[in-house]
C-alpha cells in the first residue's frame, strides 16, 4: 500500500504496522534488549541470517517504525534514527571519512555542525574546507584529491541562504563525491531528498518533525543513490559487495552507529512518530505566517532589514521558488540597527519565546550573536551572516495576526 500513498498520507501511515490489541499508535517498546528462545536463534540474528532485534542501541521496534516512515518520506532505501541531529551528522560523517580525508562544506552552517567540522573532527585528522555554497565555481574549485564529501544545508541556519542543491549534486557526482544535505529547515515536505538529488539526507528531528519541542532527535537517510564502489572509498568495498544500494546505511548501522552509541530513545521515537503526522499542515501554516510577518517587518520604520527567501526582492527568491514549490520555510531574520535595540525588541515580545530552538509550534526568537554564536570570531560570524543586530525568528503556527501584533508592540516600543 505504501507504494501508492501520497506524501501527506505517508506522514500518517508510512512504516506503521498494527500494534498489539489493534493499537493504532506505534507501541513504545521500552526495553533495552530482546530475548530469544534458543542460542541458535540468537546466533542467526547476530550473523544476519535472521531478522530480529537484539539491543536498543543497535535497533528498537518503535524506532524502526519511525525510521521506515522517514525513509519513505525522503525517497530513501533506509534510515537510522539517532539521539540528536548532531549525532546524525557525526555518525554519517564518520561512516564516510577517515583520517586524512576532507569534507568540502558550505560555510553557511548551523553552529554545532561548524564546531564539529572545525574543532572536533580536526583532532582526528578529518579536515573541513568551507566554501560559499551559492558560488558554484568556488565549490567546483574547492574539490581536491582528498575530498570525500560535499556537505550543505538546504536553507542555511541562520544565514537563510538557499543553495541550488541539484546543481551542487551535479558538481559532487561529477567529482565522484556523495552529497550530504542537512534538510532540517525545509523538512521533507518542502522538497525531499529524492527531488533535490541528495545522496544522504540529515534532519534534526528535534525541530519541525517533532513539531512541539518535546524531544531531541536526528535521522540519517540513505537514498541508496551513490555508487560506493570506488577507489576513493576502499573501506566500503565489503559493504558494497554484500549490501549494494544499502552499502552506506549498512556501514553506518553495523559499524559506526553501533560503536558511537548515539541511539534514539524509544519514547522519543514514539513522540516523533506522533508529531510528524501533522508536518504538512504545520509547515503550510509556518510558511504562511512567516511570509505575513516578513511583509509586516519589511514595512515597519524601525526595521533596518529583513531576510526571508519568500520576499520577492530577496536574492534567494528565485532559487527557493524553483526548489521548494512556492514555500519558503518558517525561519526569518531581521535587524533594527544595533544589539541594544535587538535586545529591547526581544524583551518587548510577549507571545514569542526567547530560546535556542527552531521548528516548534510556538513562535521563538533568539539573538544569535550573543548566544548560539557567542564563541565565534567576527570573521566567522560574518561567514554565517550573523550581524550584531540580527534577530532570528522561528515563526510558529499561532494565528498570524497575533504574531504580527506581538512584533508590532515590541517594535513600536523602540
Ligand atoms: C538544530 C539543528 C541541528 C542539530 O540538531 P540537534 O537535534 O539540536 O542536535 C543541525 N542542523 C540544523 C540545521 C539545525 O537546525
pLDDT tens digit sequence for 67-83: 999 999 999 999 999 99
Whether pTM exceeds 0.75: yes
Q: Where are the domains of the chain?
A: 7-276, 280-412
pLDDT, the chain, mean: 97
Per-residue pLDDT band at 111 (split at 50, 70, 90) = very high
- Given a cut of 80, is residue 51 above it in pLDDT? yes
The CATH code belonging to domain 280-412 is 3.90.1150.10
Centroid of ligand 1 to alpha carbon of 231 (angstroms): 32
Residue 12: its pLDDT value, please? 97
Do 280-412 and 7-276 have the same topology in CATH? no
Centroid of ligand 1 to alpha carbon of 84 (angstroms): 8
199 in ligand 1 pocket by Cβ < 6 Å?
Answer: no
268 in ligand 1 pocket by Cβ < 6 Å?
Answer: no
Per-residue pLDDT band at 2 (split at 50, 70, 90) = confident
Centroid of ligand 1 to alpha carbon of 146 (angstroms): 27
- Given a cut of 80, is residue 412 above it in pLDDT? yes
Instruction: Cell numbers for 261, please give them.
Output: 552509541
Residue nearest atom 6 in ligand 1 by C-alpha distance: 85
Residue 18: its pLDDT value, please? 82
Residue range 22-35, pLDDT digits in tens: 999 999 999 999 99
User: Is 280:8 a contact under the CB 8 Å cutoff?
Assistant: yes
Centroid of ligand 1 to alpha carbon of 52 (angstroms): 31
Residue 355: its pLDDT value, please? 96
Residue range 82-92, pLDDT digits in tens: 999 999 999 99
Residue of 114, 182, 184, 213 to mutate, ligand 1, most atoms within 8 A of C-beta: 184
Residue whose C-alpha is closest to residue 162's, from 288, 391, 324: 324
Residue 17: its pLDDT value, please? 87
pLDDT average, residue stretch 161-178:
98
The atom of ligand 1 lying closest to the CA of 157 is: 13
Centroid of ligand 1 to alpha carbon of 99 (angstroms): 25
Distance CA 175, CA 364 (A): 40
Residue of 82, 84, 85 to mutate, ligand 1, most atoms within 8 A of C-beta: 85
User: Is 203:70 a contact under the CB 8 Å cutoff?
Assistant: yes
Write out the chain in H/E/C secondary structure: CCCCCCHHHHHHHCCCCCCHHHCCCCCCCCCCECCCCCHHHHHHHHCCCCCCCCECCCCCHHHHHHHHHHHHHCCCCEEEEECCHHHHHHHHHHHHCCCCCEEEEECCCCHHHHHHHHHHHHHHCCEEEEECCCCHHHHHHHCCCCEEEEEEECCCCCCCCCCCHHHHHHHHHHCCCCEEEECCCCHHHHCCHHHHCCCEEEEECCCCCCCCCCCCCEEEEECCCCCCCCCCCHHHHHHHHHHHHHHHHHHHHHHHHHHHCCECCHHHHHHHHHHHHHHHHHHHHHHHHHHHHHHHHHCCCCCCEEECCCCCCCCCHHHHHHHHCCCCCCEEEEECCCHHHHHHHHHHCCCCEECCCCCCCCCEEECHHHCCCCCCCHHHHHHCCCCCCEEEEECCCCCHHHHHHHHHHHHHCC
Per-residue pLDDT band at 155 (split at 50, 70, 90) = very high
User: pLDDT above 90 covers what percent of the chain?
Assistant: 96
Residue range 254-296, pLDDT digits in tens: 999 999 999 999 999 999 999 999 999 999 999 999 999 999 9
Residue 100: its pLDDT value, please? 98
Indicate the burial class of 41 (C-beta count within 10 angstroms; 0-12, 13-18, 19 or more). middle
User: pLDDT above 70 covers what percent of the chain?
Assistant: 100
Residue 383: its pLDDT value, please? 86
Locate cell 564539529: which residue? 116
Centroid of ligand 1 to alpha carbon of 131 (angstroms): 20
Residue 163: its pLDDT value, please? 98
Distance CA 177, CA 106 (A): 15
113 in ligand 1 pocket by Cβ < 6 Å?
Answer: yes
pLDDT average, residue stretch 213-219:
96
210 in ligand 1 pocket by Cβ < 6 Å?
Answer: no
pLDDT average, residue stretch 128-155:
98
Distance CA 179, CA 152 (A): 8
Residue 326: its pLDDT value, please? 96
User: Is 294:278 a contact under the CB 8 Å cutoff?
Assistant: no
Locate cell 541470517: which residue? 49
pLDDT average, residue stretch 200-220:
97
Fold for domain 7-276?
A: 3.40.640
Residue 3: its pLDDT value, please? 80
Residue whose C-alpha is closest to residue 293's, from 221, 210, 349, 232: 349
Residue nearest atom 1 in ligand 1 by C-alpha distance: 204
Distance CA 209, CA 218 (A): 9
- 74-86 burial string, b = 16+ CB within 10 Å, else e? bbbbbbbbbbbbb
Residue range 347-357, pLDDT digits in tens: 999 999 999 99
- Given a cut of 80, is residue 1 above it in pLDDT? no
360 in ligand 1 pocket by Cβ < 6 Å?
Answer: no
Beta bridge partners of 245: none
> Apex CA 168: angle with CA 317 and CA 102, to 5°?
130
Distance CA 394, CA 357 (A): 8
The atom of ligand 1 lying closest to the CA of 112 is: 4
157 in ligand 1 pocket by Cβ < 6 Å?
Answer: yes
Amino acid at each position: 500500500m505504501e507504494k501508492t500513498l501520497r506524501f501527506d498520507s505517508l506522514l500518517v501511515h508510512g512504516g506503521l504496522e498494527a500494534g498489539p490489541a489493534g493499537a493504532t499508535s506505534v507501541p513504545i517498546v521500552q526495553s533495552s534488549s530482546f530475548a530469544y528462545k534458543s542460542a541458535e536463534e540468537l546466533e542467526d540474528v547476530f550473523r544476519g541470517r535472521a531478522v530480529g532485534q537484539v539491543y536498543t542501541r543497535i535497533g528498537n521496534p518503535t524506532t524502526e517504525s519511525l525510521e521506515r516512515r522517514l525513509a519513505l518520506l525522503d525517497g530513501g532505501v533506509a534510515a537510522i534514527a539517532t539521539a540528536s541531529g548532531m549525532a546524525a551528522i557525526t555518525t554519517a560523517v564518520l561512516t564516510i571519512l577517515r583520517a586524512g580525508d576532507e569534507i568540502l562544506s558550505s560555510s553557511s552552517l548551523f553552529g554545532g555542525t561548524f564546531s564539529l567540522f572545525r574543532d572536533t573532527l580536526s583532532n582526528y585528522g578529518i579536515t573541513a574546507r568551507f566554501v560559499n555554497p551559492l558560488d558554484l565555481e568556488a565549490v567546483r574549485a574547492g574539490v581536491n584529491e582528498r575530498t570525500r564529501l560535499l556537505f550543505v544545508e538546504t536553507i542555511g541556519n541562520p544565514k537563510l541562504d538557499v543553495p541550488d542543491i541539484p546543481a551542487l549534486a551535479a558538481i559532487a557526482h561529477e567529482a565522484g563525491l556523495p552529497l550530504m544535505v542537512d534538510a532540517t529547515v525545509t523538512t521533507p515536505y518542502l522538497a525531499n531528498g529524492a527531488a533535490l538529488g541528495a545522496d544522504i539526507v540529515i534532519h534534526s528531528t528535534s525541530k519541525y518533525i517533532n513539531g512541539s519541542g518535546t524531544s531531541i532527535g536526528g535521522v540519517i537517510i540513505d537514498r541508496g543513490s551513490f555508487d560506493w564502489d570506488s577507489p576513493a572509498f576502499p573501506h566500503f568495498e565489503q559493504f558494497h559487495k554484500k549490501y549494494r544500494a544499502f552499502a552506506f546505511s549498512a556501514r553506518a548501522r553495523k559499524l559506526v552507529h553501533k560503536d558511537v552509541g548515539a541511539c534514539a530513545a524509544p519514547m522519543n521515537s514514539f513522540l516523533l512518530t506522533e508529531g510528524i503526522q501533522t508536518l504538512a499542515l504545520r509547515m503550510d501554516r509556518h510558511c504562511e505566517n512567516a511570509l505575513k510577518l516578513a511583509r509586516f517587518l519589511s514595512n515597519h520604520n524601525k526595521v533596518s532589514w529583513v531576510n526571508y527567501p519568500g520576499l520577492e526582492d530577496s536574492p534567494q527568491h528565485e532559487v527557493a521558488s524553483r526548489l521548494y514549490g512556492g514555500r519558503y520555510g518558517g525561519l526569518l531574520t531581521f535587524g533594527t540597527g544595533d544589539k541594544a535595540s535587538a535586545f529591547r525588541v526581544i524583551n518587548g515580545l510577549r507571545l514569542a519565546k526567547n530560546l535556542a530552538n527552531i521548528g516548534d509550534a510556538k513562535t521563538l526568537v533568539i539573538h544569535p550573536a550573543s548566544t548560539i554564536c557567542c564563541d565565534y570570531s567576527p570573521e566567522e560570524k560574518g561567514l554565517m551572516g550573523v550581524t550584531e543586530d540580527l534577530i532570528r525568528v522561528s515563526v510558529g503556527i499561532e494565528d498570524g495576526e497575533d504574531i504580527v501584533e506581538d512584533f508590532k508592540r515590541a517594535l513600536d516600543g523602540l
